Structure formats: structure tokens, C-alpha cells
Chains A and B, each alone.
Chain A
Amino acid sequence: MSKDSQMRAAINQKLIEMGERERLKELLRAKLVECGWKDQLKAQCKDVIKEKGLEHVTVEDLVTEVTPKGRALVPDSVKKELLQRIRAFLAQHATL
């Protein structure tokens, strides 16, 4: 494992242990609902289902089709805010 991914794993562990990951998830969830991202993605999913047909579509289909669009549609402000929160958390628990 590269140094980078080692660091990632260590940060992730710390976040889970302190329960911060759950809090961040909830914050992200709220922000994505607010900015309308959830509704946009819902519309995308409906399109995929219509395309593939309700009887045949699988979760994999949805994931493959919708993930790239979903990633692109996240507003920068949300990314910034989450990053801020993570930085603040790391600053507080600087023993890493």
C-alpha cells in the first residue's frame, strides 16, 4: 500500500472510531437534499429504469449509469464545506 493510501486508511479509521464519519455522512446527506442533488439523481435513476425496463433493471445498472453523473453534479460549495469539516477534525485530533 502506498503512503497515500496508508494515510487515507488511517484517517478513515480515526473518523469511524470517533463517530465523525457518521456525522459527516448526515451533513452531506442534508446538503445534497438542500441543493436539489437528490432530486436530480432521482430523475436520472427514473430515466435508467425507463430505458432498461422495470422488470430487468438491476442495482448494478443504476450504479454504473448514474455514478459518473452523480459525482459531477455535486456542487463545489458542498465539497468545500465537507473538506473544511474534515480539516477541522484532523486539526483537533492531530496525533495522526
Chain B
Amino acid sequence: MSPAGCSHVNGYKVDNWKQNLRVIYQCFVWSGTAETRRRKAKSCICHMCGAHLNRLHSCLYCVFFGCFTKKHIHEHAKNKRHNLAIDLLYGGIYCFVCQDYIYDKDMEQIAKEEQRKAWKLQGRAFCFLTENLIQLLKQGHLLSQCRHICVPFVSTGIGEKYTTWEPTKRELELLRHNPKRRKITTNCTIGLRGLINLGNTCFMNCIVQALTHTPLLRDFFLSDRHKCEMQSNSCLVCEMSQLFQEFYSGHRSPHIPFRLLHLVWTHARHLAGYEQQDAHEFLIAALDVLHRHCKGDTINDNGKKANNPNHCNCIIDQIFTGGLQSDVTCQVCHGVSTTIDPFWDISLDLPGSSTPFWPLSPGGDGSTVNGESHLSGSTTLTDCLRRFTRPEHLGSSAKIKCGGCHSYQESTKQLTMKKLPIVACFHLKRFEHSAKLRRKITTYVSFPLELDMTPFMASSKESRMNGQYQQTVDVLNNDNKYSLFAVVNHQGTLESGHYTSFIRQHKDQWFKCDDAIITKASIKDVLDSEGYLLFYHKQFLEYE
């Protein structure tokens, strides 16, 4: 099984062998077009017994298909002295003299190219688990001290099949010059690092912890995908990239994010100063600045840079932007006017605020859909989401001009999710700033580790309206399932308080980040906490 190939292929490598081999791959192994598929369906059967299973092989020297398991191809090889055959399932080349599959560089090259061609022709979307991204990182697990190494990153938007990484000459060179290796085990703490509080900056520290542990964002920055177009030194995305280098460097001493703080003050003036700020406001401001500074990375399908701010395809938009559908129904003619607005987070009202929480409108379902602990009277995240997506009667003082009736009529408004972002951030509105009072609402809201957003989707609402009340749990549709990966908490009052966060390092392994102090936390600690900002990540990612 030597990687240098066997000498017996040399007898095959004559005349137009490359083209012949390509034809075999195109027609019988990886059939890309409908025509080749039809031919494959008809002709790929054993010439001796007619079976289509049993590891069918094709002779490389003549037109003969034979079973491998029943040794029909072996007989043919012996009788005709044709020593090479190709496996029609996986494209491997078998040499009957060596009695094993052989690996010839030229043939492998042809095989890879033909496979890519066939996949492109079919142009489908593929599913792969989030965990696979971490596998990618593990396989390319080359985090040396301060150099970042480019790992070919298969991101959403490219219609290519996932293939394992093979290093180029340049990458091999880099590997030799940077011999230090870091192995990622299931218990390792790489990526965890404390952050010094620079004077009430815990609000910033928590968000930084959440962002550095967002898997897609981490993969984007660690594979060096930001191309900076800013002339000055004030690009927040570059600083973010530097931050990831610091976090994954393996240093255990806390990091001092003074440069990040300075850049935030420069770009988001309203957050400047040493007073305590709102972590949620910081999150939105940070995402906004990152989105604006990502201009260099936005490439259209045509290879041109996107100039349209509404159709940005930067990493921030890819990860955080969702679509919120607002339907306004006229009570008289029942005409519906729909708008879809982009969002980065969902702000949820809580019971105990000035605006009444209950009652919910009838037709709410899925009270135990997310398996949350429904202690008597305690509110769940699902309750808040149901309230958020309930139809709301707008009252006689807020009549809307109806396009159908051509007059002002009473209407109901309903919000649903049109498009879910890859990372969903839920903001529990604990800080009340009404005309009379400013206070913090400390009502406990229980939230789950796994969240299914299906009941709150615009598509679910449509099927409910079409009379399909019984929503069969579609085993194959995993598109709306989310996993919790970060929780930001606020302790104290509006006047003086402190932010801490819980971060998911591996599945079922959580850590509490309190500025410079990182401690191990149990899942119970996480789920019992008050919860202010909840970060959920899609469980299954698909290419578009």
C-alpha cells in the first residue's frame, strides 16, 4: 500500500490513457449529468451475474464490469491478463498483481478533478454538523505562537463538497518553520482567557467573551479571512482578529484589552467614558462597527465588491442577521400588509414591567416544546417568545391606513421570524426606563439548553392559518434547532452593577467569566442564572 503507486500501472499509462480514465470516471463513477446517470443506471451491472451490488468494479483495459465480492472481476483479470480495475463506488484503483488498492499520484489527481466537476454540476446543498467545524480546526490544528496559518475554510456560500485539507507547498514550508504544535483535546481550555477590568468595562468583557466563543466567528478570524481596506490603524475588525490571536495563543494570564476599548470609544462615542454601560448596547454598537469595517471582505458571486449596504454579505451579516416579518391585518377587509426587517437581536419584554405580559391570545401552542422546567408560575423563554409573536390588536387610537379599504381602519399586528440567523441573541429587557421609574426587573426567566424556533417562524404561522393545526414533528427538518453557547448576566441594581458571563467551551462544559477570573461552572449554574443576554447557535448548518 505504498503511496508511491505500483509499477504495474506503467503498462496502462500509454497513449491517451488520461482521457480514457477521465471518461470512465465521468460515466461510471461520478455521473454529473442526467445523460451519464441514465447510462450508468443501465450499464453498471456485472457482466457475469447481472448484480449491481457486490462492489462492482470496471476493468481498466476493456469494457467489462464484474463483482468484486463474488470474484468475477478477479476471474476476468486472470483470464485476460488485465491487471487494473476501478471501484465504481469510490473510484479507487485496484492492482491484481499487488493484490491491493494502489495510490498513483497522476490517477488520484484525475479522480479528484472529476469528482469536483461532477459535484459542481449537481450543485446541491450539503449538511454538516457544527461540530465538524471544530473537527476542521482539529485537523488543521496548527496554532503556533504568533503566526496565523491559513486553513482552507469551507464557508457558507460556496457550493463545494467538504474535502479534507491537504497542505500546499507554501503551507508545508510554514509548518516546518513553525514547529510548535498544540493539540486540542476534549478537556483543553484553549480559547479561554480572562480580561482585565479597565474601570467598569465588565460590560465589554462579557460581550468579548461571547464573541470569541462564537464558533463561526472564531473560524473566520483564525483562518485569517479579513482583508483590511482601511488606511488608518483604527479598523475594529483587525483588532478583533488580534484579539482572537491573543485568546488562542495559550497564554493563561488575563489579557488587557486597552486597544479594543480605545477603538470602541473612537467609533461609538456614546459608549465612551468610564461609567457603567449596557452590555446589550455595546453588543449592537460593536456589531455595527464590525459590519461597517468589513467592507474589504464582501465579495459578490461575480467576484465584484458589494457596495450595497442592504445586501451586505460580510461575516457579521452571515452570522447574526435575521429577518423579522411584521404582518398588519386590516380588521375590515382582512388584507395583510407585510414588511420584513433585518435584526441582530430579539428584545423580549418580561412580566413585571409596566407593559402587561399576560394574557396571551388563544391558539398558543408548544408550552413544553422546549422541555423547560415549568415551575409553577415561573416564566420561560418560550413564554416570552410566544408573547413576542402574538397577534396584537392595535386599538382605535392607532388606526392604520389600509391599502385595500383606502381608509383608516383598526388592525392587528403580528411579528414572526422570516429568516433565522445562525447566531440568535435574545435580550431580556430587564432595565426599565419609563417616564416615571428606572428600575431593574429581576423576574427569573428559565431558558433551555436546546431551543426549537419552529413555532415562531413565519412559515409555521402560515401553516397554522391554513388549518394545519397538527404540526407533525418533521424529523428531517433540523433547520430551526439551536444550542445555547453563552449567557451574559447582570448582578446588582441599575445604579451599580456588575456583568459576568457563562461560556460553553465544549459540549456540556461551561466556564464562568468574571473579568480576569475564569472558573469552571456546572450546567445547573448556567441555567439557574438570571439571564440578560442569551446567545444561541444553530445546530445544523447548510450551504446556501
Contact = CB atoms under 8 A, between A and B. Distances in A.
Contacts of B52: 8-9, 12
Interface in A26-75: 26-27, 30, 33-34, 57-60
B483 to A, nearest CB: 14
Contacts of B1: 57-59
Contact of B132 (A22, A33, A85): A33
Contact of A19 (B37, B128, B129): B37
A26 B100 contact: no
Contact of B126 (A8, A26, A59, A84): A26
A6 B31 CA distance: 23
A88 to B, nearest CB: 10
Contacts of B50: 1, 9
A48 B442 CA distance: 59
A5 B99 contact: no
Contact of B128 (A5, A30, A59): A30
Interface in B21-57: 31, 34, 37-38, 40-42, 44-45, 50-52
A76 interface: no
Chain B interface: which size bin?
20 to 34
B528 to A, nearest CB: 30
A17 B41 contact: yes
A36 B100 CA distance: 28
B101 to A, nearest CB: 5
A9 B45 contact: yes
Nearest to B38: A17
Nearest to B51: A5
A39 B12 CA distance: 36
A30 B41 contact: no
Contacts of A17: 34, 37-38, 41
B127 A59 contact: no
A34 B44 CA distance: 31
Contacts of A34: 129
A59 B122 contact: no
B465 interface: no
Interface string B95-114: 00001110000000000000
A81 to B, nearest CB: 7
Interface in A1-16: 1, 5, 8-9, 12-14, 16
Contacts of B38: 17
Nearest to A9: B52
A12 B129 contact: no
B348 to A, nearest CB: 31
B183 interface: no
B100 A59 contact: yes
B124 interface: yes
Nearest to A61: B100
A12 B50 CA distance: 13
Nearest to A57: B1
Contacts of A57: 1
Given A26-B126, A57-B1, A16 B40 contact: yes
B476 interface: yes
B45 A22 contact: no
A93 interface: no
B44 to A, nearest CB: 8
Interface of A: 1, 5, 8-9, 12-14, 16-19, 22-23, 26-27, 30, 33-34, 57-60, 81, 84-85
Interface of B: 1, 31, 34, 37-38, 40-42, 44-45, 50-52, 92, 99-101, 122, 124, 126-129, 132, 475-476
13 contacts: A1-B50, A9-B50, A9-B52, A12-B41, A16-B44, A18-B37, A19-B34, A26-B126, A27-B127, A58-B1, A59-B100, A60-B99, A84-B475
Given A17-B41, A19-B34, 10 more contacts: A8-B52, A13-B42, A16-B31, A17-B38, A18-B37, A30-B127, A33-B129, A34-B129, A58-B100, A60-B99
The 6 closest A-B pairs by CB, nearest first: A16-B41, A13-B41, A58-B100, A17-B41, A59-B101, A30-B127
